[in-house]
Structure formats: structure tokens, C-alpha cells
A and B are shown apart, each in its own frame.
Chain A
Amino acid sequence: MKGDMYLAWSSDSEILNRSENGGIVTSLLKFVLDTKRVDAVLAVKARGDDRYDGGPVLITDPSELIETAGSLHCSSPNIARFLKEYLGGAFDMKLAVVGKPCDIRGTIELVKREQVNLDNLFLIGLNCSGTLSPVVAKRTIIEEFGVDPLNIIHEDIEDGNLIIMLKDGTEKTKDLKALEEKGYGRRENCRRCEIKIPTMADIACGKWGTSNKKATFVEICSDKGAELFEEAIKAGYIAVEHADDKAIKERKEKEQEAIESALKWEKTDFAPLKNMAIEEKFDYWWGQFSQCIKCYGCRDACPICYCKDCILEADRGVVMPGEVPPNAMFPMIRIAHVMDSCLNCGQCQDACPAGIPLTRLIFMLNKELYGIFKYQPGVDVASRPPLRSITDEELTIPGVELVF
């Protein structure tokens, strides 16, 4: 049932061996493919044995699923974009999609915009403490751990530490906060992200609450998820036991710790921007935007952006063609159009050739808009983006400002 929590593990020994925890995600994917409940599965796989290059894969052959087992922390693929751009939003196919909370939330925002068909999807969310960008990850491992990045077979983030496991079985651990204060560690947006458990998916899977047993902690988040899970159990793909209070408490505590750390980083990231005098803000941001070379990388990467005929294109008459930097409308419209739904996924900032701190600005604005409209993007399909929706109640509110 929705809300149920389990400790679960795969009944398939090969999957269980390959997996870090209980192998539940892989087993569920296998279940839906074997039983043809879906046409294909959208998951993440390392390119060959390169742990620093994980990308989306579309799998139709169940035997290929085993290669997606395990987690990759040193890459941040854009799953929602892949779904929207290359899989037609799942209008023509049934899919199971595996993603981090930001991937799932991006998908849900796209559902609201009628770009993705939620009915055709099983959303399996993964707990996430953050990802590292591959180049920074390699630098961190070389410069701080003194290890060859090719020597890593596994990396993990746990209890505020970055842990790497080498080929010879040894482990090395470093305090993540200390690393990040030096400029190593996770992507900036991941550090301040408060959404660690993807309860907006159908099923949320992670290792918090497992006390490091070889199992996966599963939370059922929707009726669709409940049905799927029960059938997978019945069909013998997974075995479960109900999560006891101790496990649930452990999970809650770990989540709280992670959220507290995130909120601290959020303050660190946003305070300098908020504390500038208004003239300084202008000079700072227009100095940043003046480095823009009109690559459209931010627009392409943003899961929320979906217009086939984007207003910022050169032939639309809003932004003068052929100018670098593009005129003021380019950054302003880009930000204004997505700010009420920004997921803090960080894809825009990753994509910017000029290193403009886009996610920092746009998510900061999103948080301010949250303060006004109380809207959290990507969490509830039924709640509408605040700057693009109105309710009938507002007809009777006389003032020029609303209070939520």
C-alpha cells in the first residue's frame, strides 16, 4: 500500500551479487521487462568500465539489465531531458524510468506541461546524496586521496564522508565538507539539495535504514507503485520484510542530517548574492551575462524548457541574431520562464561554457518564489506552476498581491 516501507532484496543471486544493496531496482526493472509491462527501461549505465561517465540507456533486453546494477556518483546524466527529447515523452511507449530525485521531479514537471505521459511510466526513484562532476571527481581523487582514478571500483557518500574503494579492496575516507570547502567534492547544486528521498516517484529505493545489511530500503509512494511491488513479490523477483521502527528512524535521521548540511550550503551559496547592494548585483550579474556566447546550452539542458519554437531563437525577433553576448532579453527570458519551476538539477550551470553560476541564481529565485507562493516544483503532479496558473478563489481577492 502507499506509504508502506520495507527492507527488500532480490531473489536473483546474480543481481544481488552485482548490487551494492538489495538489488531491488534491477529486479523491478527485470520484472517489468520480463512480463512486458513496459516496452523498455530507461536507466543509467557506465560507459564500459568508466565510472566517471554514466549515461542514460534504453534497454529492451532483460539480460542487459545486470550492467546497470550499482550506483555511479561521478556523473550526472539528464534523464528527464532524454525522456522528453528522444523518447517522445513516453506517449508512444511504456517505460520504467530510474532516476535521482531531480530526474523524477523533472519528469513530473514535464507531465504538468503535457510533455510526458505519466500513465505510461513506472517511476523508480533512487535516494541521492549528490553527484560529482567527472573532472572534479578525478581531481579530488588524485589531489586529495592520492589515488589513480582508474583504480577505483566503487565510490560512496555516507555520513558526511566521501568513501572510495580501490581495486585491492582497501577503502579511503575523507570528510566531504572539508573537501567541498576547498573546491572539491560534489556539484554545487547537489550540496545544497534538500530532496534526498524521491517520494514523488512510484517507489523510492535507497540504503538509509538498512543498517548496512545487504538490502534496499523501499518506500511505496503511490498506488501504482504498491501494485507493481506486490506483483513483483508475488512473481518471486524480490523478497521483503516490513521495515521496523528502528530502520525507519535511522532513515529519518540520516535524511535530517543530509538536509541540515544542505541548508547550510544553501546559505553559503546564496548569502553573497543576497547581501550585495543593488548596484553591485547589477554589475555582478550583467558582468556574468556579458560572457554568454549564445550556445543555448542552458536552454537545451533544462528539463523544464520544452518549447519547440523557443522565443530566444535567432529567427524569433526577440534576441538580435549574430550578437555575442546576446542582448539582455536572452538571460532575462531564460530565467523568467523557468524560475518558478527550477529543480536545482544543476544541468544549466554544468552546460555553460562561460561558467556563469546559473543554477545558483535561478534556484535562489525559486526559493524566494517558494516563500511567496509555497510551490515546490516536481513534487505533486496536481499542483500547478504558480506563475502560469490561477485559481478561481483569486477572483475575490481584491489586492495587487496575494498571500499564500
Chain B
Amino acid sequence: MNENKFEPKIVGFCCNWCSYAGADLAGVGRLQYPPDIRVVRVMCSGRVSDLLILNAFAIGADGILVAGCHPGDCHYLKGNLAARRRVMGLKPFLEAIGIRPERLRLEWIAASEGPKFAETVMSFTQTIKELGPSPFNRRRNGH
């Protein structure tokens, strides 16, 4: 697959109260970031279960970003802490079965952090472009 032509499919689970608002702010501020990310609004990053993450990989996501409130700021108090442990636990798992753990990223993005959202998406998209398609997608394309 031609690296230049690779348009990754990136899923961004953004929590309603902080990171989704931050994404909104980036948009309002006309901050540029690559269009490969598909943003999915969830009420809390803690809602992003193993199932959601693994399913996203299974159906073809090349990268998954989970964005939540900074610890201490979670609207539901501790949801983001659950997300943190969950993502930490999934990384060794992904690596063990052949999926680069860098394809899963957790980031804290406050409602006011429009620029941080844009930078995160920019850097994450670049990472995924360098990694290439997810092995699930390579399989699908007959590799």
C-alpha cells in the first residue's frame, strides 16, 4: 500500500463535558487538524469500555483516541480514572496479539483546550500514518 495514499480511519471518543467541548472550540477557532478523525461523543471517557475500543479495531479503525477530562475535573467524578486504567491495561494486550499499542492513545483535553485538541489529533494522525493500516485492514485487503 502506497504510504502517501494511506488515509487512516481514526476514531476519537470524546467526552461531552471536556474534550468534545474542546474539539468544538478548536472548530470555532478554525484551528487546522487532519480530517481523518471521526469524533464520537460519549458522556464520559469512562464509558469507553474494552468492548468499544476492541470493536473499533475489529471493524477497521487504524487508530483510536480516547479523550477525557483532566483527573479531578470529571463531571462524574472518577470516570476518567477508569478510562486511564483501562487504556493502560489494553496496551500490553494489543501488543501481545500483534497490534501496535501506539494505535490507542489516551489524552486529557479540557473544554478550554481547543489548541490541545488540534495538536493531539495532528500528532496522532501522523503517528498512525507512519504505522500504516491496522493489521486487521491489511488482512481484509488480502495481505
The reply, when asked whether chain A contacts chain B directly with Cβ atoms under 8 A, is: yes
Tally A-B pairs: CB < 8 A. 104
> How many A residues have CB within 8 A of the partner chain?
41
Q: Which of B55, B88, B89, B100 has the most CB of A within 10 A?
A: B89
Q: Interface code A357-380, partner B: CB below 8 Å = 1, 0 otherwise?
A: 000010011001100110000000
The answer to whether A395 touches B72 (Cβ under 8 A) is: yes
Is B35 in contact with chain A by the CB < 8 A criterion? no
Given A282-B98, A285-B98, A400-B106, do A332 and B89 touch, yes or no (CB 8 Å)? no
B70 cross-chain contacts in A, Cβ below 8 A: 398
Q: Nearest CB to that of B58 among chain A residues?
A: A328
Judged by a CB distance under 8 angstroms, whether B84 is at the interface is yes
Known: A278-B100, A394-B71. A333 touches B51 (CB 8 A): yes
Q: Is B78 a contact partner of A400 (Cβ separation < 8 A)? A: no
Q: Is the CB of B92 within 8 A of A281?
A: no
Q: Once the chains bind, are B96 and A329 in contact (CB under 8 Å)?
A: no
Q: Mark A193-226, 1 if CB is under 8 A from B, else 0.
A: 0000000000000000000000000000000000
Instruction: Say how far B142's CB is from chain A's closest CB, in angstroms.
Output: 14
The answer to whether A390 has its CB under 8 Å from any CB of chain B is yes
With A and B bound together, what is the CA distance between A286 and B50 in angstroms?
Answer: 19
Contact of B50 with A337 in the complex, beta carbons under 8 Å: yes
Whether A311 contacts B51 in the complex (CB less than 8 A), given A328-B58, A368-B92, comes out as: yes
List the A residue with the shortest CB-CB distance to B46.
A390
- Name the B residues within 8 Å of A372 (CB-CB): 88-89, 92
B42 CB-CB contact with A under 8 Å: no
- Is chain A's interface secondary structure helix, strand, loop, or mixed overall? helix
**Alpha-carbon distance A284/B71, docked complex (angstroms):** 38
Assess A285 versus B71: contact at CB under 8 Å? Given A318-B55, A332-B54, A390-B78: no
Expressed in whole angstroms, the Cα–Cα distance for A390 and B86 within the complex equals 10
Question: Contact at B139–A286, with CB atoms within 8 Å?
Answer: yes
CB of B71 within 8 A of CB of A396, answer yes
Cα–Cα, bound, A198→B58 (Å): 40
Asked whether any CB of chain A lies closer than 8 Å to the CB of B28, the reply is no
Residue A386 CB within 8 A of the other chain: yes
Residues of A within 8 A of B122 (CB): none
> Chain B nearest CB: distance from A361 CB in Å?
7
B99 within 8 A of A: yes
Indicate if the CB atoms of A328 and B136 lie closer than 8 Å.
yes
Chain A residue with minimal CB distance to B55?
A: A329
- CB-CB nearest in chain A for B87: A400
Q: Return the CB mask of B98-109 against A: 1 if under 8 Å, else 0.
A: 111000001110
User: Cα distance A395–B51 when bound, in Å?
Assistant: 25
A308-338 CB contact bits vs B (8 Å, 1 = yes)?
Answer: 0001000000100000000111001101110
Q: Tell whether, in the assembled complex, residue B54 and residue A336 are in contact, meaning their CB atoms are under 8 Å apart.
A: yes
A333 B54 Cβ-Cβ under 8 A: yes
Given A395-B78, A402-B84, answer yes or no on A387-B89 (Cβ-Cβ < 8 Å).
Answer: yes
Question: In the complex, what residues of B have CB within 8 A of residue A373's CB?
Answer: 85, 88-89
Distance in Å from the Cβ of A73 to the closest Cβ of chain B? 31
| A401 at interface, CB cutoff 8 A | yes
The reply to whether A361 and B96 form a contact with Cβ atoms under 8 Å apart is yes
What is the CA–CA distance of A281 and B72 in the complex, to the nearest angstrom?
38
Q: In the complex, which residues of chain B have a beta carbon less than 8 angstroms from the beta carbon of A278?
A: 95, 98-100
Nearest 8 CB-CB pairings of A with B: A282-B98, A281-B98, A328-B58, A387-B89, A390-B81, A368-B92, A336-B50, A282-B135
- Which residues of A are at the interface with B, using a C-beta cutoff of 8 A? 273, 278-286, 311, 318, 327-329, 332-333, 335-337, 339-340, 361, 364-365, 368-369, 372-373, 386-387, 389-390, 394-398, 400-402
Q: Interface on B for A, CB 8 Å cutoff?
A: 50-51, 54-55, 57-58, 70-72, 78, 81-82, 84-90, 92-93, 95-100, 106-108, 135-136, 139
4 further contact pairs, Cβ within 8 A, besides A329-B58, A402-B88 = A281-B97, A281-B98, A329-B55, A390-B85
